[in-house]
Amino acid sequence: MVYARTLGSQSYTFQVSGMLWRNSLIMRDRETGSLWSHVTGEGLSGPAKGKRLEKSASVQTTWKNWRAAHPDTRVLKKSEEVLSSHYQKYFDDPERNGLFRSQWLMEKMPGKTKVHGAVVGAHAVAITDGAFESDGLVFVDLGGTPVVMVRGGDGGVRAFEARGQCADTTLKFGRPVARAEISTIFETTVAWLRVDDQAVAVRLKPFENLTIRIRFSGSGSGGIE
């Protein structure tokens, strides 16, 4: 989870408190001494109790993929080389599953099973990593909100509101559009699209490929695809 550390006019500096809540580390801010859950971003005790940090979009990926997409990223360089994690043995041992409710969790799935979660309001879901092996996406319903969870080319899983398993988008051009149509590979018109001056509105299904023919105002030929 990634959070913005500024809430209102207050900026917080966080450090590890050494305590756990639901088998997860609790952060302490230096400014007020309040304790925060890094799972929910909510203040658990102290002056900030009940406050909630704003989530930032994030993805779990490799450094190679991240640097290729964000070459200006800066990272913390430690004074000594880090060869391994102090928690590596814990991560590798499927029998070590935290301190609380571990037996109940092991009855649901094997220890250290990797899951990807999504939250909409008071509703939440956890999808095992193996569920994305077939076609790379999973559709779920969270309290009436359709959500699609997708594994990207970088290996990370992202969740989006599916909007009835469709998404409305707008194609913008630098000159006026006379007409736009969806056609087959044989150039047979399937549907006409709504045109608004230099933009075209289109509704897409996840991973749908469309052939769209555009005719610009004043163009002498059939336009572009």
- For the chain, where are the alpha helices, taking DSSP H only? 63-69, 88-92, 102-108
Which residue, of 58, 86, 101, is where some domain finishes?
Answer: 58
Say if residue 200's pLDDT is above 80. Answer: yes
The CA distances from residue 15 to 6, 23, 26, 117, 211, in Å, are: 15, 17, 9, 25, 52
- CA dist 73 and 32 (Å) reads 30
Asked if 35 contacts 45 with a C-beta cutoff of 8 angstroms, the reply is: yes
In the chain, how many domains are there?
A: 3
Domain co-membership, 31 together with 2: yes
221 lies in a domain? Answer: no
What was the pLDDT predicted at 221? 42
Domain co-membership, 30 together with 47: yes
Domain co-membership, 82 together with 112: yes
Which domain range does residue 122 map to? 63-161
Exposed (0-12), middle (13-18) or buried (19+): which is 74, by Cβ within 10 Å?
exposed
Say if residue 212's pLDDT is above 70. Answer: yes
The overall average pLDDT reported for the chain is 81
**pLDDT (tens digit per residue) in 149-168:** 888 777 788 888 876 566 67
43 lies in a domain? Answer: yes
Domain co-membership, 72 together with 145: yes
225 lies in a domain? Answer: no
Domain co-membership, 189 together with 110: no
Q: Which residues neighbour 74 within 8 Å (Cβ) at sequence distance 6 or greater? A: none
Band (43; pLDDT cuts 50, 70, 90): very high
What was the pLDDT predicted at 186? 66
Say if residue 66's pLDDT is above 70. Answer: yes
Domain co-membership, 77 together with 156: yes
91 lies in a domain? Answer: yes
Read off the pLDDT of each residue in 58-63 and give the average, rounded to a whole number: 81
Domain co-membership, 127 together with 69: yes
**pLDDT (tens digit per residue) in 80-138:** 877 777 778 887 887 777 766 565 566 677 777 888 888 888 899 989 998 888 778 88
What was the pLDDT predicted at 137? 83
Helices (H) and strands (E) in the chain, counts: 3, 17
Measure CA 57 to chain center: 6
* Length of the chain in terms of residues written: 225
Which residue, of 58, 85, 106, is where some domain finishes?
Answer: 58
222 lies in a domain? Answer: no
Q: Which residues neighbour 130 within 8 Å (Cβ) at sequence distance 6 or greater? A: none
Residue predicted with more confidence, 94 or 26: 26
What was the pLDDT predicted at 106? 61
The CA distances from residue 55 to 32, 41, 47, 52, 92, in Å, are: 20, 8, 20, 9, 29
Radius of gyration of the chain measured on its C-alpha atoms: 24
Domain co-membership, 108 together with 122: yes
